[in-house]
Structure 1
Amino acid sequence: MRTERVRIEGTDFLTTLTLGGPVGLLALHGGVEGGTAELATEVAARTGATLLTFTQPTGPPAHIPSIRMSACAPLRTFLSHATLTISLHGHNRGATSRTIYVGGSNRPAARVLAVALADSAFTPVTSLADIPPPLRGLHPQNPVNQTRLGGVQLELPVLARTTHPAPTAPEIPPEEVVEGIVAGVGVLMGRESGR
């Protein structure tokens, strides 16, 4: 595990990088989208996946769009090591507080994760037509799409990221969501190992 401070667009971030298997777990907005860094960390620990999280140790939270986060060394290392990315994000859309949007350029991998999450209390949505455009994760400059096989962008509501209604440090992700993503990553790691 390597930690490194980086500065992007005037904001200081603490990155944590652990190189592991071919599937990579990424939390670009761990300091802003509560629970995403903790969820990525827990899934990577259980599966041996590669992990990169960004948190903001000081100052007011800043949300830098994903497409502008690709310049720092830890992210370049992550993208060159992993072959498939699962990027965890948070949405706060009240009307869909039980919906997990499953975007990103690798649609077969998106369906694997959706199936793995189907038994949870949340509804995974994979149809791009049903995912709000800002949550689709399809831009080619989005890091989720920059590994060799592209990736899956999971947009998680608050209740799928933390078991607490108010922010805590650290956030504690719901076990059913952890288990669902772990199962999906396990399938995807098996496919990558067989290549």
Structure 2
Amino acid sequence: MTGNVRTENVLIEGTEFAAALTIRSDIGLLALHGSKEGGTAELAQEVAARTGAGCLVFTQPAGDPVHIPSHRMAVPHCEALREFLASVTVVVSLHGHLRPEFPRTIFLGGGNRAAASILADGLAPLAPPFDTVTDLAAIPSGLRGLHPRNPVNLARAGGVQLELPLSARTQRPEKVQGAPDLPPPTVTAALTAAVERLAADRPG
């Protein structure tokens, strides 16, 4: 399923972002830090295209990418974010972590715990080499995605924040300037199946 991509240039805390929005269905893939957390933008776009989900990806077109915390990305003047959140029921927000003690762990945070469980079941075929964690107590506090202003929690039914280790979101151990980060095909396929399962179950 295709959709028309609309891009909005928006300034957030002095940093210029390009927000690429595609409206399709009531499930939406979100990548807030597409330029900073390699592979998240590409994974969000590919999975959204395969599943017919909506998609919103933020990238930084100029300069060294900076990381603005998710809850501070929810600025009222970003029309693309407002439209995205109004069009979806559940958000699947993709992030990258570099926790050296968890090099193969995918954490599933966010406020919609029923959706997190469904996605975790769909990602189970990735084990090994990856394992998934849904127990909030076992997720590092900075990766839980529970802030009420985090966009993952602003849709009608909230959403799930997936924190992906580097090896789950790019096949490039070193960043190549100008080259896209290509997520591993196994991760793309598993997340596609997980989002399809989520769409079929539609948890509230």
Q: Give TM class, smaller chain.
A: over 0.9
Equivalent residue pairs, number: 194
Paired position in structure 1 for 2:191: 181
CA distance in 1, matches of 2:198, 2:51: 11
Percent identity (aligned): 57
Q: Which amino acid in the other structure matches residue 110 of structure 2?
A: G
CA distance in 2, matches of 1:118, 1:164: 24
Is structure 2 residue 103 aligned with structure 1 residue 97?
A: yes
Using structure 2 for the length normalisation, give the TM-score: 0.92
CA distance in 1, matches of 2:34, 2:57: 7
5+ long unaligned stretches in structure 2 = none
**Which residue of 31, 41, 59 corresponds with 1:55?**
59
Is structure 2 residue 157 aligned with structure 1 residue 149?
A: yes
Could you tell me whether the CA contact under 8 Å between 1:117 and 1:180 is conserved in 2?
Answer: yes
Q: 1:15 Cα shift? A: 1.0
Q: 1:191 Cα shift? A: 2.6
> For residues 1-195 of structure 1, what are the structure 2 equivalents within 5 Å?
1-71=5-75, 72-120=78-126, 121-168=129-176, 169-192=179-202
Q: Which amino acid in the other structure matches residue 87 of structure 1?
A: S
CA distance in 1, matches of 2:144, 2:110: 6
5+ long unaligned stretches in structure 1 = none
CA distance in 2, matches of 1:102, 1:39: 16
Q: 1:81 Cα shift? A: 0.5
CA distance in 1, matches of 2:134, 2:201: 20
Q: Secondary structure at the match of 2:125?
A: coil
Which structure 1 residue ranges, 4+ long, deviate > 4 Å from structure 2? none
CA distance in 1, matches of 2:14, 2:152: 23
Q: Which amino acid in the other structure matches residue 143 of structure 1?
A: P
